[in-house]
Structure 1
Amino acid sequence: MNSYDIFRKLTRGIKFDQKRFKGDLQKIGVITRDEKNVKDDFREEIEEDLPINDQFKVNEINSIEEGSSLAEENPDVDCNSGVKILGDLHFSKDLNKSKRKKKKKLAEGETEEQHERQRLLDLKTEEINRARNKNGIHVWGPDVPGPILCFDELITEYKVPEVIVNNLRNQGFVEPMPIQMQAWSLMLQGREILASAPTGSGKTAAFLLPILHQLRGPRKKGFRAVLLAPTRELAKQTHRECVRLSEGLGFRAHIISNVNRAKLKFGPNSSKKFDILVTTPNRLVFLLQDGDTPSIDLSSVEWLVIDESDRLFEGGLGGFRDQLAIIYRACGNPNIKRALFSATFAYEVQQWCKLNLNNVAMVSIGARNTASSDVKQELLFCGAEHGKLVALREILRKGYRPPVLVFVQTKERAKELFRELIYDNIMVDAIHSDRTQLQRDNVVRAFRERKIWVLICTELMARGIDFKGVNLVINYDFPPSIISYIHRVGRTGRAQHKGRAVTFWTLEDQPNLQSIAQVIHNANQEVPEWMLNLKKLTKRQKKLQSHNIPERGHVSAYDVYREQSRIQEKIKQKRLLKLERRAAKAATEGAEEERETQETNIYTTDDGVNDVDDLPPSDRGLRGKKRKNKDAGLNHYKKKIKLGQNSKHNITKNKKKFGHKIIGSKLNNSKKKKNLGQRKDTGLVPKKKKNGKNK
């Protein structure tokens, strides 16, 4: 633990109000004065030197401020003669000379060499800041090194093997991307990092190159780098890029595609001839929690990289936070380093990194949580759900450049839209979680090979998947959040190519319309003014909207008809099942009555004698045993017969008394007595007429 770590732990939670103490910070040189305030002060100093009766004109004052730019735009104009303001009043350039900053004097005890070294350091810092501003790089953290502006710096300053640089150039990189410039310089120094960059900006190569350099070739120690991704498709893509970039170095990169094979291959008795592991969290956690001893060892891991970190840090049923905690604890190397990458910045991830990572540096490219400016984004109103299908067919009818991605909300809607478009003479297919892994791999391969022109997909394909040359993205269903919209739109306009994104919306999507319109506006795209003026949602409302996805129904009228037919068929089956249960119940009751009749016949002798005691002693042997064995049943049956006679007698008596019709012969005797008692107590017994008939 160095001095900075101790200072960070001691000062955790302390805040400093820069607005309140702005003047003090300017005095000690921590912050500089604004350019606008400097101009105002300069203008006030000029006014103090002039006579009171003379008044400046606005355009003449502006000419003083723009005097330096005048010489650059018009070289023939001599600016040394000064500027004439009013009459005999003349503003010479000597005034500017007097206002110039004086040359810094040497500090006490400072030599000329130290002063020159500090001057060169200031020039280098200024050059670094200029390069960051040019590429839209924003950093946070102590001692952040400057960006790497060309591939030659990797070889000369950081001693990266030329093989890796050549493999990088073979993949189509001419110069480093902005995220690569800053991430390489940090990770090559062994710094932990949290990075955010737009989709398609080269984040995969940004963390693969430093890892390959710092692992220093293959070793027989087991896995020394673990790369996590939220989906299997993204994990396969990362593994493919890792193999290409490490070509010629001998690294052994693996991906967990089958858990049972992984147990045998990476178990305790394995040869440990592997270096890099690319996988999803769930499969790795299954191997770590399999049995008493884990089926995979992560004690030698030197780098843990989490791609799409905002998605993996989500909690709940759909998140990976619990799995990520298990993996984090399984990496027992005390010198482990962690790197988190994503296209969107999450506040929870940022706070976690500040508290748990050592000497962390944060890098952000461009504005946070905004879509790429290389994508032309549009919002199209469709009225209702049935209007979306009409709008989609109209876009495809006018002509389009394949490949095209169409995002829907659920896998059921993906199936329904596929059934609608398959008969429109379009090379279309769908990918969702109901399809097997082999089917999904075949669909992705066919889409990359341009055998499929239109691919219908869910949020499964919204993150990280890099399809070369996707020209059009259609959000058939409105995205539930800003993060989802940014990742969907990011499937096009990758690697500085142009793209187009069309988002359908209906009246049900109006609550989220303002936030999506603001994202489009921040990407320098045209948006109607009334959309930006809609009521903004609070953070709590946005969170609820992202989880409570509206029920959109079916894609077409045919699907509605199929659903109604299915419901009617289900109701018919329920009725048939109910009738079958009634028939079975009636058959059971008939069988019980027949059994009771047979029991009655058992206790009646052939001579017509109902009791064994009436028989002579010589005939009581076998029948005595029968009576002894069936005595309890006989008594119970006699009580039942007596109860039935009483019930029948009460029903007949009440029928004569009240004169109303009794429906059914088998009624609950106690319930009937209770009802009759209530009628008698409340005086509701019907009165007789004079002719003797009941009323």
Structure 2
Amino acid sequence: MLFEDLPLSQTIQQGISEIGHTTPTPIQEKVIPEILRRNDVIACAQTGTGKTGAFAIPLLQLLNKRVEDDKTKGTLSVLIVSPTRELAVQIAENIKDYSKFTNIKSGVVFGGASMQPQINLLKDGLHILVATPGRLLDLRKQGYINLEHVEVLVLDEADLMLDMGFIDEVQKIIRLAPNLVQRLMFSATIPPKVQDLAKSLLQNPEKIELTTNSSAAPSIEQKLYMVPKQDKVELLLYVMRNVVKNKSILIFRRTKFGVEKALQSLVKNGFKVDELHGDKSQTDRTSALERFKSKEVNILVATDLAARGLDIDSLDFVLNFDIPSMPETYVHRIGRTGRAGSVGASISFCSADEKKYIQFIETLIDNKIPVETEHPYPLEKNAEPVVHKKKGSKHKKGRKGSGSKANKKRWYK
């Protein structure tokens, strides 16, 4: 199937063609007709398979004729809720690309940035709004957003939304939009909590699941390096010099402190690197992504904040410096490379105390991750996790302090 085979208007077709897309991805091929039929949908597919286009293209088609006939200021008809700022911005950019030759007005609001420009945007009138939950509710409380005319609600990356604790906000948003005629949910996985939300939100939905939950894209070459924890930084420098070289790489660490530590080691050794984590301002996060996308730096070190939805063209490698404790997180991380059928590679550093996490991951993806043995910091085959024993008091139990021993007089009795 080609995009031109779908019942899309000339202006929408032109926008799709302008960005070089001719053939819909499998998720787009299945979802677009269902949305055009005005069905509720719950869709599950690997990251990087074109989920944004799957809902953006048909929603633009449904809006286009109405907007052409309506010359008045835009009325908010479509609300797209996203869990992270970066993903919200990316969705909004994609919508602007697809709708380039239409009169549809779209915009994005998110926390961590000045509210006034977003207020000005809303005052001009929008047909489509992309938003993070917190900022959406803040602006609605202040009277700048009216959800009563919203007809279509899209929850993107629903599982991450719930993992981040947004369930109360999502339920409030649903209550504040009483005139919904279509509800769409997109997720990389559909665990029980997403199923429960779907039951309460969707009405007789079409369930579209292209792959088994949490399978890794076959186009990603995975490698596992077994390494003592204390040698991980040295192994990172070795891999950067001998494996990755000047290619683009996204490095994941579990904590913000870990990101800073890796950044310092790489900068000290002359690498071009930037960082991305939740303590960075929105301006810094945006500029870090832009520098990475424009190849100004070829290394980005990040927490799992960046593990979902970021669309980075031609990302060569993903490196898991720390193995995630949740196996689904591994799939989301490595899904940043090998997107939409392109070839990518992932490298994971596993210490003795992380072996159990690898077992969980291999069970989930139903595959063994090949182990790379040719490197200078191998982990001994039978190495056990390092156990840090809590040190107790150096004094024996019941021993008196020096004051008591001296039988000193005290002011209290």
Contact 2:14 2:101 in 1 (8 A): no
Selected match of 2:55 from 207, 210, 226: 207
Q: Alignment partner of 1:223: what SS?
A: coil
For residue 431 of structure 1, report the CA deviation from its aligned partner.
1.5
Matched, 1:346 2:191: yes
Q: Alignment partner of 2:341: what SS?
A: coil
User: For residues 248-287 of structure 1, what are the structure 2 equivalents within 5 Å?
Assistant: 248-256=101-109, 257-263=113-119, 266=122, 270=123, 273-287=125-139
| Alignment deviations for residues 512-562 of structure 1 (CA, whole Å, 9 cap, x no partner) | 22121234544x86579xxxxxxxxxxxxxxxxxxxxx9999xxxxxxxxx
Q: Which residue type is aligned with residue 274 of structure 1?
A: L
The corresponding residue for 2:174 is: 328
Distance 1:418 1:326, change over 3 A: same
The corresponding residue for 2:400 is: none
More helix by share: 1
Q: Which residue type is aligned with residue 458 of structure 1?
A: T
| Distance in 2, Cα, partners of 1:525 & 1:368 | 18
Contact 1:187 1:193 in 2 (8 A): yes
For residue 404 of structure 1, report the CA deviation from its aligned partner.
0.5
| Aligned alpha-carbon RMSD (Å) | 2.4
The corresponding residue for 1:394 is: 238
Matched, 1:313 2:144: no
Q: Which residue type is aligned with residue 282 of structure 1?
A: G
| Distance in 1, Cα, partners of 2:386 & 2:44 | 33
| Distance in 1, Cα, partners of 2:34 & 2:40 | 8
Contact 2:323 2:350 in 1 (8 A): yes
Q: Which residue type is aligned with residue 367 of structure 1?
A: T
Distance 1:264 1:425, change over 3 A: closer
Distance 1:194 1:300, change over 3 A: same
Q: Which runs of 5+ in 2 are unaligned?
A: 373-384, 389-405
TM-score by length of 1: 0.51
User: For residues 160-179 of structure 1, what are the structure 2 equivalents within 5 Å?
Assistant: 160-179=8-27
Distance 1:662 1:439, change over 3 A: closer
Q: Which residue type is aligned with residue 485 of structure 1?
A: Y
| Distance in 2, Cα, partners of 1:295 & 1:392 | 48
Contact 2:80 2:156 in 1 (8 A): yes
Selected match of 1:490 from 316, 326, 335: 335
Q: Alignment partner of 1:341: what SS?
A: strand
Q: Alignment partner of 2:268: what SS?
A: coil
Distance 1:253 1:221, change over 3 A: closer
| Distance in 2, Cα, partners of 1:221 & 1:421 | 49
| Distance in 2, Cα, partners of 1:520 & 1:298 | 40
Structure with larger RCO (C-alpha < 8 A, sep 6+): 2
User: For residues 55-454 of structure 1, what are the structure 2 equivalents within 5 Å?
Assistant: 149-154=1-6, 158=7, 160-215=8-63, 216-218=65-67, 219=70, 220=73, 222-256=75-109, 257-263=113-119, 266=122, 270=123, 273-290=125-142, 294-314=143-163, 318-333=164-179, 335-384=180-229, 386-400=230-244, 401-454=246-299
| Alignment deviations for residues 23-42 of structure 1 (CA, whole Å, 9 cap, x no partner) | xxxxxxxxxxxxxxxxxxxx
| Distance in 2, Cα, partners of 1:162 & 1:297 | 31
For residue 163 of structure 1, report the CA deviation from its aligned partner.
1.9
Distance 1:283 1:551, change over 3 A: farther
For residue 344 of structure 1, report the CA deviation from its aligned partner.
1.9
For residue 442 of structure 1, report the CA deviation from its aligned partner.
1.0
For residue 663 of structure 1, report the CA deviation from its aligned partner.
5.4
Contact 2:80 2:153 in 1 (8 A): yes
For residue 352 of structure 1, report the CA deviation from its aligned partner.
3.3
| Distance in 2, Cα, partners of 1:221 & 1:499 | 42
| Alignment deviations for residues 586-621 of structure 1 (CA, whole Å, 9 cap, x no partner) | xxxxxxxxxxxxxxxxxxxxxxxxxxxxxxxxxxxx
The corresponding residue for 1:616 is: none
Q: Which has the larger radius of gyration?
A: 1
Q: Alignment partner of 1:513: what SS?
A: helix
Contact 1:221 1:300 in 2 (8 A): no
Contact 1:376 1:525 in 2 (8 A): no
Distance 1:205 1:663, change over 3 A: closer
Contact 1:520 1:526 in 2 (8 A): no
| Distance in 2, Cα, partners of 1:662 & 1:166 | 93
For residue 509 of structure 1, report the CA deviation from its aligned partner.
1.4
Q: Alignment partner of 1:311: what SS?
A: helix
| Alignment deviations for residues 384-420 of structure 1 (CA, whole Å, 9 cap, x no partner) | 2x21112111111214252100000111111111111
For residue 263 of structure 1, report the CA deviation from its aligned partner.
4.2
Distance 1:662 1:283, change over 3 A: closer
| Distance in 2, Cα, partners of 1:399 & 1:527 | 15
For residue 217 of structure 1, report the CA deviation from its aligned partner.
4.5
Q: Alignment partner of 1:518: what SS?
A: helix
| Distance in 1, Cα, partners of 2:217 & 2:167 | 28
| Distance in 2, Cα, partners of 1:450 & 1:510 | 34
| Alignment deviations for residues 148-175 of structure 1 (CA, whole Å, 9 cap, x no partner) | x332321xxx3x2122123212323231
| Distance in 1, Cα, partners of 2:386 & 2:174 | 37
Contact 1:217 1:250 in 2 (8 A): no
Distance 1:152 1:430, change over 3 A: closer
| Distance in 1, Cα, partners of 2:174 & 2:100 | 29
| Distance in 1, Cα, partners of 2:243 & 2:356 | 32
For residue 313 of structure 1, report the CA deviation from its aligned partner.
2.6
Q: Which residue type is aligned with residue 152 of structure 1?
A: E
TM-score by length of 2: 0.85
The corresponding residue for 1:568 is: none
User: For residues 458-537 of structure 1, what are the structure 2 equivalents within 5 Å?
Assistant: 458-522=303-367, 526=370
Distance 1:363 1:423, change over 3 A: same
Distance 1:551 1:177, change over 3 A: farther
Q: Alignment partner of 1:422: what SS?
A: helix
| Distance in 1, Cα, partners of 2:14 & 2:271 | 41
Distance 1:323 1:473, change over 3 A: same
For residue 438 of structure 1, report the CA deviation from its aligned partner.
1.3
Moved over 6 A (4+): 550-553
For residue 499 of structure 1, report the CA deviation from its aligned partner.
0.6
Contact 1:202 1:495 in 2 (8 A): yes
Distance 1:265 1:456, change over 3 A: closer
Contact 1:228 1:306 in 2 (8 A): yes
